[in-house]
Amino acid sequence: MPARTPMGPRTIALVGPYLSGKTTLLENILFATNRVNRLGKVGDKNTVGDSSAEARARGMSVELNVATTTFMGETFTFLDTPGSIEFAQETADALTGADAAVVVCEADPVKAASLVPLFKLLDELDLPRYVFVNKIDRASGSITDLFDALQANSTKPLVLRQIPLMNGSEHPIGYIDLAQERGYIYKPGHESERVDIPAGEASHEKAERARMLEKLADFDDKLMEQLLEDRTPEKDTVMAQLSKDLSEDLIAPVFLGAADRMGGVHRLLKALRHETPSSARTAKNRGIDELGEPLAQVLKTFHTTRGGKLSVARVWRGTLKDGMTLNGERVSGLFRLLGQTTEKLEQAGPGEVVGLGRLEKALTGDTLSSAKNTDALPKPDVHQPVYALAMTAADRNDEVKISSAMHKLLEEDRSLRFYHDDDTHEWILAGNGEMHLRVSADRLKSKFGLTVNTSRPHVPYKEAIRKPVTQPARFKRQSGGHGQFGDVTLEIKPLPRGSGFKFENGIVGGVVPKNFIPAVEEGVSEYLKRGPLGFPMVDVAVKLIDGKYHDVDSSEMSFKTVGRMAMQEGTPKCEPVLLEPIVQVEIAVPSSYTSKVNALVSGRRGQILGFDARPGWPGWDVVTAHLPQVETRDLIIELRSLTSGVGTFTSKFDHLQELIGRLADEVIAARATDAKEHAKA
């Protein structure tokens, strides 16, 4: 067989649900390739991946981890992405720099549905993928049931590359490679041992290999012809077809393994080496011309406690050098990454993933080039927040520092939002779940020394009135010298919902001078910020119909004050009513959960508007409903619990709706308590 030509650096993303074992797989890959000299364990908190303080504390991935190694003379960079759906933005951003993905999953048919969002994301990027069924040594069901469950949730035809080797055992002790027709027994901590296929499993192997070849023949006429003529294709032909179909994203090969025992790791590495397309091919698929100035894309931004800002980037074209200028900024340090360890480089060529130091203006997803005008490469959409917390500095002296620190966190994580809610006067941190926001708060502490308090955000309730009132008011004060005097009569009326606030001047005969009328309106507007129930007032019309003034004692301040007084005295007589915001939600779930979602919405005072098939997602529905905004604050928590972690929703404000009875009384009482606490503070 002729010597293999190295394909250059390639990048593999490890993706999969929480607890599937991606970080353990990465650790075993690094040990198998002699990149590390000891095998770390997630439970011992000593792995290359999950090395941040926030990940260690939780025993789970909370951000992208990058590690570069070599295998059989070729360079691979592995992108270990978080499994929790709450950190899905990290995965989406990282995948823009991958040549292929390994979808890691557990050997449990029940959990197969959790892979659908990942498969859809890979489809959007046209990214080839392998499936690595982990923990196969603990599987209790049949491989057929597992494979059928995986195929039912896969958007690509799956090709089973291996079957479990049982040899009389209750659980798999190894695997049989269907392409090579070889048996392997797992050897914990070492490469699996090659063995002859047991006689009792030979017929099963033949049958499964025939099914594999039939699937491959769907994409190759010559192979189909051989099978129809009962000719056995050469193994090299089979391997070449597997590589071709994988690189063209036609199939998803399925491998078996037990990553914590290094079972199946070497075989997976060999498949990656032989079948993963080159970075040049990936670049071509993404419309990147191989000729031109150096070109790279930022996959992740880190703000390190010592080294400053670090941009993790994939080089697509040309050579990056330390000290060169990209996007108008000088690169201050070029690094190869191994978790949080960095190795200084002088340059990096096409296909490599490196860290670039001190590019202060570069953001995740940005295209980097030494040319002045370069078309930006596509980057994933930012996920809409589904959970929010109100945030304050534990130490008031730190309030000014919060803004600067949050700016850096927003650079690290594109799916975070930090903004001031003008209705509730709170600073809001919003993201993809409670864990997501707790991790962000912890990063403020670990990276910037800032401790924050978090709480549920207030809901922006409003209030309106039901009946009109005509209200006079007089303000008179004499304290020596010029006094203060103002007298007005206001006509206060309700407006249709959504009309806002309208002020009208109905004065005739100059009983209130024109120069004082804007002051009356200002006083009225100030009062509307907090009505008789304690909430901002909306949908109110106020007309100034009468009044009096004094040549010496009247002033703008006097009429501003009396305008506010008239509202304060009049609005309680207008039958004020509480309004709660109603949002329209679109809840996306597998169809098997639709009835449960309907019950969930009804239990949260929601009104179901209908449901339809989710476009492009076979077997999924979108339930549309109106929900009180207060009921959406923890909706994502219950929704994910109900749907094995895959359900999600989007929302937008729709209208304000009257709230009466016990619920309204509770809201009003809570606002009064908050006001008292605020006054004490």
**523-539: pLDDT as tens digits:** 999 999 999 999 999 99
Write down the H helix ranges in 135-231: 143-153, 202-217, 221-228
From CA 62, how far away is CA 83, in angstroms rounded?
8
418 HSE (CA, 13 A, CB side): 18
Amino acid at 127: L
| 314 three-class SS | strand
User: For residue 57, what is the DSSP state?
Assistant: H
From CA 665, how far away is CA 670, in angstroms rounded?
9
Contact 362, 340 (CB under 8 A): no
From CA 26, how far away is CA 368, in angstroms rounded?
28
What is the chain's length?
A: 681
| 273 three-class SS | helix
Q: Which of 316, 280, 285 is nearest to 299 (CA)?
A: 316
DSSP3 helix / strand / coil % (the chain, rounded to 5) = 35, 30, 35
The CATH architecture one would assign to domain 10-283 is: 3-Layer(aba) Sandwich (3.40)
Per-residue model confidence (pLDDT) at position 554 = 94
Residue range 367-397, pLDDT digits in tens: 999 998 889 999 999 999 999 999 999 999 9
From CA 10, how far away is CA 68, in angstroms rounded?
10
CATH node for 578-663: 3.30.70.240
Residue ranges in the chain modelled with pLDDT below 50? 1
Q: Which of 606, 610, 611, 609 is nearest to 582 (CA)?
A: 606
What's the CATH number of domain 287-369, 1.10.540.10, 3.30.2350.10, 2.40.30.10, 3.40.50.300?
2.40.30.10
**Phi-psi category of 373—alpha, beta or left, where left has phi over 0 and alpha has psi -120 to 50?**
beta
Backbone angles phi, psi at 665, to 5 degrees: -60, -40
Amino acid at 215: K
Domain definitions of the chain by residue range: 10-283, 287-369, 399-455, 463-574, 578-663
User: For residue 62, what is the DSSP state?
Assistant: -
What radius of gyration, in Å, describes the C-alpha atoms of the chain?
32
Residue range 300-321, pLDDT digits in tens: 999 988 879 999 999 999 999 9
Check if 399-455 and 463-574 are the same fold.
Answer: no
Fold of 399-455: Alpha-Beta Plaits (3.30.70)
From CA 252, how far away is CA 266, in angstroms rounded?
18
From CA 403, how far away is CA 448, in angstroms rounded?
11
Strand pairing class (174-177; 74-80) = unpaired
From CA 465, how far away is CA 572, in angstroms rounded?
9
Helix (H) or strand (E) holding 567: helix 556-570
- Residue 252 has which token pair? 């998803």
The CATH architecture one would assign to domain 463-574 is: 2-Layer Sandwich (3.30)
Residue 481 CB neighbours (<10 A): 7
Contact 127, 249 (CB under 8 A): yes
Residue 589 CB neighbours (<10 A): 25
From CA 229, how far away is CA 213, in angstroms rounded?
13
| 661 three-class SS | helix
From CA 298, how far away is CA 366, in angstroms rounded?
5
- Residue 100 has which token pair? 């292929």
From CA 147, how far away is CA 158, in angstroms rounded?
8
